Structure 1
Amino acid sequence: MKKRSRIVWKLSAVVIVIVTVVIILSGYVSNLIRAHYSLESARDVLKFNSESILHGIDKLMMSRNNAGVEELIIDISRGSGVYGDIRLMSHPSGTIVASRSGRSDRILKREDKPCAFCHDLDDPEHSSTEIRDEVLELPEGGRLLKVMAPILNEEKCKNAACHAHEDSPKILGLLETDYHLGNVDALIAGGNIDIAIAVLTALLLCTAALWVMFNYLLEKPIDSLIAGTKRIAKRDLDFRFRAERKDEFGLLEESFNDMTSRIQAHQSELRTAMEYLEGIVENSADIIITVNPEGRIQTFNTGAEQALGYRREEVIGKEIEILFVDPREREVAIAQLQSTDNVKNYETRFLTKSGKERNVLLTLSRLRDPQGNSIGTFGISKDITEEKRLIKQLVQSEKFAAIGQAVTGIQHAIKNMLNALKGGAYIVERGIAKNDRERLWEGWTMVEEGIARITGLSQNLLNYAKEWKPELERVDLGELVVKINGVIKQTASDRGVAVRADIPSDLPPVRCDPKLIHMAVMDIVTNAIDACAWKDYQPNETPEVVIRVYVDGSNYHSTIEVYDNGCGMSGEVVKNLFTPFFSTKKQWGTGLGLALTKRIINLHGGTITVESKPDQGSTFRIVLPVHGPSEKKGEG
């Protein structure tokens, strides 16, 4: 784990540095101010001292005691460490009249310090009458305060005998006094030490106070937060902070407690949901298996164990292909996953531990991580072995039932036809017995019709049972309908029914078997004529059958529509209309015509529908694909 410095130490260091800088700057500024005022006080005192010496010299000079002036200068500076040199100079000659070392023959020049002190001023005549001072740094160390006090040519001096001439100057001389500032510097240095001690003491006290304050206000609460968050990070979600503090740390602890409670609640919900989902998967009767990207089994539920006979410990980590009768079937399913993330109801075969085959419907889905990367597959397989066996039995049963129904229908149809033949034979017999040719002819006609009906039934049975293979070609449905109209128009007219064809001129050719379509349409038109013949019309009504052909807007489908205004049919009749051996023609119907028609239309990939209302008529619609039946279409 990365080593980290404590924030309390960082914060303490920053605050201590700031406090230290503030205290040092404050001490430094205080010392500057103290040194300034100490020097100013020393200046005032020493200026006053120079004025006192000047007054003493003034008295001695007024009494013309020149020797006393020298003695005064020597006495004042003798045995004192404060005084440096004291010199009394004549002006303007520049002669040193008296000093601590006695009279000197040296003549001061204008550029010398005492002279330049006034002559370098902008207004020497005005400024030279003031007492002036200057602090000088000595080469050997220490400082010196040089005080220049002018001796003015006052009225009492002008009236004295020694100065009673008109050209006497304004300034008679200068008193130059040097004072050593060692005591002042020592006092300032002592103040610096005091300030340094005070700064150090304040720094230590501040450091201690800051350490105590930060330790109580920051370090302990932060340590408590760190310890608590580490426990939460270790999934100790039952941990809670005390949250007793009334500051921001208390608010932070409350936030952590609330966050932990929410996480705990969410984890509980997720755990419940996961257990619920795991229960669904585990207790499902379906075969549920997950496979990793390498094709090895990862999970194997109870349903898979029961269906395939393996214990999950036996197959987890093994290649999934061991469960397939033909491993290539899984490759086909996986290949389908390249373009989609799931394959639904893929029929395949699994191999049980005992070597038996199980038919299953497999729904295979791809598993992905949050970044969208494939992490395996999830398969749910439904065992349909028993269902297929039952369906096979059902199909066999339905075949037997269909055969029984067909036999019953045939027997019923033959019975009706035989009754008609018996009736005709009886009339023939009576006609022969009575030598009645008319009755003989009537009976023979009935026998011929019965023979024709039996022949038709036989042909319909052969057609219905026949394995049809349409011979497809491009057919003009308009021409086909015109031929049907030409064939049946006279027969319809003889029965009082008008047949009309409504054909547009721009019909596209349709790919179909013209013989089969001709048979289907002819059967519907014949039924329409029969429906009109069976209806009692009102005086203003005329029996009519209309055959129309048209295409939809996309030119993909062509429709043949047969309309009649005959007797119509009830909803129950329409519902059973295409059922084999169902007939509305009583003893003359076989019940196979429309069933055969529907089969023909299905062979072409088309549909046939009917709309009908009793006593109002019926409309049959045959819809055929223009481009012929699809290869996937069966006989239906």
Structure 2
Amino acid sequence: MHFNLITKLTLVTGVVLLVAMVLFAFINVTTLKKIFLEEAIHDVDNLSETLIRSTHYQMLEDDRKRVYQMIQEVGTQRGIEHIRLINKDGEITFSTERAEIGTILDKSTEGCNVCHAEDTPLIHASSMNRSRIFEDRDGKEVLGMARAIYNQESCATADCHFHPPDVSMVGILDVIVSLEGMHLQTSTYRNNIIALTLMLLLVVASCLTLVTQRFITNPLGQLLRHTQRIARGDWGPIELNSHDEFGKLAGAFNDMTQSLKHAQDELAQWGSQLEIKVEERTQEIKEMQSRLIRSEKVASLGELVAGIAHELNNPLTGVLMFSSMIAGDPRLDPALKPDFETIIHETQRCAEIVRGLLDFARESVPKKTLCSVEQILEQTLTLVAHHSSFHDIQVERHYQETPQILVDPNQLEQVFMNLLINASQAMENGGKLEIKTGTLSKDAQVFVKISDSGCGISEENLSKIFDPFFSTKGHKGTGLGLSVSYGIIENHGGSIEVESRVGIGTTFTILLPLHYQAEQQGAGHRLGAPA
């Protein structure tokens, strides 16, 4: 059998309250019964005292008839069972029950055993010791009070008195009253307590049910329905206008619901974009594989180029030397001199190509020192300022104070020179060359941006500009400058990024690490290998 929360709470509270009320009623009724009994003993004791005092003068005059008449009249009152006089020898001299007059009481009977329980009878006893509770012949519970009649001085000197003066007690007045009234009051009080307990249980159970229903069951029901809605996919917030713990719990539920919804949306978004991400990752892997294959090809090409360059260098030197000698010989026909000058120019051009091939193929470890990129830029600008392609170009510098970094100044100057000359050649009719430096604290890098307002690079050529022997200048370029620059920056632990738009201009961004570890310096990368 399953009970709901209200039933459980009501049952537990009712049991606790019932036990408390029963305990309270028991203690209260017991205490009240004790109080009633003490009052009854006190009243009976006062009644005995009153009878003795009211009959004192009649006893002095030995008017026993009057004494017995007064006792008889008092014995007719409601609640008094009977009254009797007992002399010192235990004989009942008078009783409202005439049948026992003249009988002798046993000292062990009720009323005598209190004072005669010991070897020496008690002369004086308290009212509690002189009282006893017992059942009469009809089975009713009664209270008996025995009060001693003492031989006072006035009694010993009276004419009628026949008791010697040395006798302390001359008799006992025994009053027996019914305890039905006390039991009736106690029963009434007990019944009232029971009725009050039942009424209180009913009121408390009703109030507790209403309060629990209002402040506990209803909010719990709303929370339960809200969790069921969440299980069905309904992410709406719970509306619970309460400022107690249930209100806080509802707020926490709403926060949890929003977090779950956000997480589910993210999962759904990740699920929808998973294919795209897989494709992107696959494309990145393909690009990495392509770059590795390309690096291997470039490395093989570098070895081949080094051999070819060494083989071509000696014949070209001979051609250039003998062509120069013939062109300077006065015996040469003046008509042939322009042809020899053309031979000399083209031979020099071939020599430059061979020199570029050797630079591309040569493995060079950077000799790094702490340098300022701004200082290297200024030195490079001083070298290229008198170049013919810089005549109509406006140079703008935007330097920040960057920290010194470990670089090879000669190799970095070569990179800057290649980029600056390429930028100037892209602006044949003049333009603006902008140079920026700064630091990226997030990535711990120094950046150098070289931007021109030249013709720009088409998107199809943008991915090829770092390939060896690729050039957009036709016969004017070897296609090795950017490839060599790429390798130099890579050997420094950095990278080169390029952005370009046709007709607007091109921006090269060089990123160099602020803290480059010494063990990474000798990686042995080929300068021409863009990786």
TM-score w.r.t. the length of structure 1 is 0.42
Q: Identify which of structures 1 and 2 has the higher relative contact order when contacts are C-alpha pairs closer than 8 Å and 6+ apart.
A: 2
Which protein is bigger by CA-based radius of gyration? Answer: 1
TM-score (norm 2): 0.50
